[in-house]
Structure 1
Amino acid sequence: MTATLAGLLAARADATPDRAALEHQGWVVTWGELAARVRRARPRLRGAGHGAGARAGVLARNHPDTLVALLASVAEGAELVLYDGRATGHEREQVASLAGVPGWHVPSAADHREDPAGNDPPLPGDAAQAPYLGLVTSGTGGLPKVARKHWGATLANAERFAALAGYRGEDRILCTTPLHHAYAFGVAVLPALLTGATLVFAPHPAAPTTLARAVRESRATVVQSVPFLYRALLDCGEPLAPSALRVCVSAGEPLPAELADAWLTAVGTPLRDQYGSTEFGQIGYAADAPGGPLRLVPGVEARLRGPDGSWIAAPGPGTTGELYLRQDGTEPVAYWGLPELGGASHVDGWFRTGDAGRIPAPGLVVVEGRTTRRISVAGRKVDPDEVERALKAAPGVRDCRVAAPPEGSAGHGDRFVAFVAVDPGVTEVAVRRHLARTLSSYKVPTRFHLHDALPRTGTGKVHMARLWQHAAAGPGQEEGA
């Protein structure tokens, strides 16, 4: 594997200059054109403070201009921090403070425009690639963390995942989730550079019908998305078949067996679960059989810790514990701006995932849910999953999320909140009565916030940060959150 992004791009541009590297809404950018755009962008990004030794922030969207800015910044030796181009000003300031970036660059065509006189800048000299990049994760409670990731380990992990999933150089990889997230970054963006495949940006955000047409018309052979979007694609009424799909990757939240079966029936290609994290990239993949245990990506090791805090030395196939991870060639996980958090996330050099799981055989893992969502209510433990199941069974409830207030907020630890998407006319009283018939009184949330729909992140997860912002206004019906 070529060790740097600049080296990967140069190799692709030399070997297949006329092959499509990127496609977006009818635009095609070849590998040769992509290399030329990056060459033109480098002096402009250097002038904007993205030079060697600097830490630079880039606001990302699923567009070729973002990839050009990313590649140019890294080629100049900047320590890159990628963040959501749709984030609010407050969110940008918060992450910039944690990451230590002076501001945010918004990629545009101006980064790589051609000189009207035809005097393109000379090919810049190679700068040493900075060892780290930063990716932002919301973390528990919606509070941001900027995970420091080592470039060498990140590229190796993406390459190993692509091999495990069976990516090919002739593939067309449809990216449906935001590229600043570790999922799209490691399953679509980097594998395209590593294999020479064509990266196709789906419209984002997009209505399900638009996304379904993109799946069909893009001639994609690989698609990465989340269960929420896969379900929306099946339900939107837009035909998906015939398609060229041969690899369909699902991540971000558990993949229901019913959804996997429905997708296989409709499309004819298995929907395969993937387990990953911002800190580690790709961890496990259902390479052997959809719905079965996940095979650990080469280089990743897992072990279990019991509820008493001791390591489970020889877990049997049915033994459940908390999953801890270690990855070849990596340093301990660290977070910019929160140095104490990295150390607290490790035990004996192993990273705590906060997930419960099993290791049915060496090299395999089964993820069974979160261990850190349990809520303490007056000394008694409440499982949010149990409350959410009861809520979803209530008439008129379409979606929900149950959580304790974030650390440091008033009442943390002795109350919890239900965010509920309901049909018109459904009231809090009706929802409460349903839960009172189903659950013990201490399992009924203290507060309810009713919404038309729950906001979601680009990877399909419920956007907890926005929900807590709405909750700050007090209880009651909240339309159009």
Structure 2
Amino acid sequence: MDHGEGRAGSAAPRGGIVPCTKRVMNLSHVLRQAARRFPEAVGFVHGDTTVTWAEMDARVDAMTAGLAARGIAKGDRVLVQSKNCLEMFESMFACFRLGAVWVPTNFRQTPDEVAYLATASGARAMICHADFPDHVAAVRREAPAITTVIAIGAAPFGPTYQSVVAAHRGAAVVPADVEHDDPCWFFFTSGTTGRPKAAVLTHGQMGFVITNHLCDLMPGTTHADASLVVAPLSHGAGIHQLVQTARAAKTILLAAEKFDVAEAWRLVETWRVTNLFTVPTITKLLVEHPSVDAYDHSSLRYVIYAGAPMYREDQKRALAKLGKVLVQYFGLGEVTGNITVLPPADHEPEDGPNLKLGTCGFERTGMQVQIQDESGRERAPFETGEICVAGLAVFAGYYNNPEANAAAFRNGWFRTGDLGHMDAQGFVYITGRASDMYISGGSNVYPREVEEKLLAHPALAEVAILGVPDPVWGEVGVAVCVPRPEATVSEAELLAFLDGKVARYKLPRRVFLWDALPKSAYGKITKKMVREALEARGDLPIAAVLERSA
């Protein structure tokens, strides 16, 4: 397009700036930096195994050479199906170093689900833990383009990761040259509203994300720090540990696959852990388990939680037990967590005039948040709308999915699908997912507001409220509550507790009491899973339940 600034027929630069390629750091360089500066320092711990930065860097070089020898090149996708382990963590850096794209799965997904990810990503190679032979079989059946499979541990479906590393030990590998928009990671969404989509993360974007996390979430992090992993490395925890590597802070894995709270606190004491990445449900487990008092956790500076806001009553218990170490961030995988932050200083341990109840914090450094109406216009302070975001942490788009990209962006803003408002000081408040809101008698109901009120009841540990069809009101609320151990409470008592605390149209029609709420592989309570469980128990539709109980 000619802007009239150059010769006729030439592509004139805007503002006199000549476009050029934007070369950026290959993300694997953060591991090389750690190995150069602290070669003999421990970088990774898993059970009795400790690995130094120099050793990990050499192993990554060897795996990079091994993948290259098998025809994997820059831009190729490598599917990784594995529980948390050293090899999985290294595979991320090997893919980055090669210029290939890391495609981690949620290891709890079924073989057919993983086979779908293989075809959707166009993967050409697979690294798979030996515990998942059925996943390899499904992938080979559905994705014949995958001709290379490497096994983590002894397995019949391919050469072992260790043998590949041993065969290429000592290889001198030069990281691939990359530009800002070169993809490095396909971050698959959870798929709670349909098939998972591959959010394309790039080298340039992730370089910004590392800097932003260090600036906003963990200021002052150095090689003297240590980070405990209590979530799958395939998603948010993987990004968190990539950030740790950029400061040569050691990564510590739980020894066993099953989450053991006492073991987590023992590791915090043993390794003087300074930060960990969690979701609210895991933080709640850590704080309310008796082992929290059995081990020294005074080394903790940052307990970072994301994935969902933490209910106020849970916040207060965590602050009372751990001190002012909580850090909340709000952000989707598509924005790699970089939307808002609520640092320790803004986590008030007691209710009072300084408390901003329900906020998820303010805009992250270098990011802009806007609350928009359905046409994309900015809402006034305190008006509810969709939370939209712009900035360098926003992903490049969904891979091979133009329809999803068209729906996700409007006027350059990424649409989160979350509803909320912003106060006059710029603090953001999440009302809920747009899909969680329901309309009862013509009035909008945002479940989170009612959930917060219910959780103030001392007998309750967890609550989920969702809207269900109703022939009279259009939709009504249903609450599913989990009582605390040894607590006794009834549906009538809880409805009476809510009466007068929220408008009557917001009151749930029914309250169900369960032993536990279903959770995703990342420890999050999802309304889709709660709805499915209600249907499986025969508790939907509500009209039929009321008729049965009449």
Q: With structure 2 as the length reference, what TM-score do the two structures score?
A: 0.71
Indicate the SS of the match to 1:52. coil
Question: Which residues of 2 match residues 180-191 of structure 1 at below 5 A?
Answer: 180-182=234-236, 184-186=237-239, 188-191=240-243
Distance 1:45 1:416, change over 3 A: farther
The 1-side partners of 2:323 and 2:531 are apart by: 40
Q: Does 1:120 align with 2:172?
A: no
Indicate the SS of the match to 1:336. coil
**1:449-480: CA deviations, max 9, x gaps?**
87532232344311456556656656269xxx
1:272 is matched with: 327
Unaligned residue ranges in structure 1 (runs of 5+): 406-412
Q: CA deviation at 1:44?
A: 3.3
1:408 is matched with: none
2:222 is matched with: 168
The 1-side partners of 2:226 and 2:519 are apart by: 27
Q: CA deviation at 1:283?
A: 2.1
Greater relative CO (CA pairs within 8 A, separation 6+): 1
Indicate the SS of the match to 1:215. helix
**1:14-51: CA deviations, max 9, x gaps?**
22211111112232111111011112212333456643
Which of 143, 148, 152 matches 2:204? 152
The 2-side partners of 1:160 and 1:39 are apart by: 27
Which of 256, 262, 265 matches 1:212? 265
Which of 284, 304, 307 matches 1:252? 307
The 2-side partners of 1:417 and 1:346 are apart by: 33
Q: CA deviation at 1:209?
A: 2.2
The 1-side partners of 2:533 and 2:301 are apart by: 41
The 2-side partners of 1:298 and 1:390 are apart by: 32
Question: Which residues of 2 match residues 371-382 of structure 1 at below 5 A?
Answer: 371-372=433-434, 373-376=436-439, 381-382=444-445
Distance 1:141 1:450, change over 3 A: farther
% identity of equivalent residues: 23
Distance 1:244 1:91, change over 3 A: same
* 28-37 vs 371-380, greater mean Cα deviation: 371-380
* 459-468 vs 244-253, greater mean Cα deviation: 459-468
2:432 is matched with: 370
Distance 1:384 1:261, change over 3 A: closer
**1:365-420: CA deviations, max 9, x gaps?**
32232250212468664433366568768998753434468xxxxxxx96887655
Which of 357, 361, 370 matches 2:421? 357
Q: CA deviation at 1:265?
A: 3.2
Distance 1:271 1:398, change over 3 A: closer
The 2-side partners of 1:461 and 1:241 are apart by: 27
Question: Which residues of 2 match residues 460-479 of structure 1 at below 5 A?
Answer: 460-463=523-526, 466-467=529-530, 470=533, 473=536, 475=538
Question: Which residues of 2 match residues 330-345 of structure 1 at below 5 A?
Answer: 334-345=397-408
Q: Does 1:22 align with 2:44?
A: yes
Q: CA deviation at 1:246?
A: 1.8
Q: With structure 1 as the length reference, what TM-score do the two structures score?
A: 0.80
Tell me which amino acid in the other structure corresponds to 1:223.
L
2:340 is matched with: 284
Q: Does 1:299 align with 2:349?
A: no
- Select the structure of larger CA radius of gyration: 2
Which of 99, 102, 106 matches 1:84? 106
Q: Does 1:241 align with 2:296?
A: yes
Preserved contact between residue 241 and residue 267 of structure 1 (Cα < 8 Å): no
2:157 is matched with: none
2:161 is matched with: 111
The 1-side partners of 2:467 and 2:115 are apart by: 25
Alignment RMSD (CA, Å): 3.9
Q: Does 1:199 align with 2:267?
A: no
Preserved contact between residue 225 and residue 459 of structure 1 (Cα < 8 Å): no
Tell me which amino acid in the other structure corresponds to 1:401.
A
Unaligned residue ranges in structure 2 (runs of 5+): 1-22, 130-151, 154-159, 348-355, 469-473, 541-550
Preserved contact between residue 66 and residue 165 of structure 2 (Cα < 8 Å): no
1:39 is matched with: 61
Distance 1:49 1:91, change over 3 A: farther
2:275 is matched with: 222
Tell me which amino acid in the other structure corresponds to 2:205.
A
Distance 1:454 1:77, change over 3 A: same
Tell me which amino acid in the other structure corresponds to 2:424.
P
* 322-331 vs 337-346, greater mean Cα deviation: 322-331
Q: CA deviation at 1:304?
A: 2.2
**1:148-181: CA deviations, max 9, x gaps?**
2222112211222212331223211222222212
* 392-401 vs 72-81, greater mean Cα deviation: 392-401
2:20 is matched with: none
Indicate the SS of the match to 1:34. helix
The 2-side partners of 1:149 and 1:355 are apart by: 24
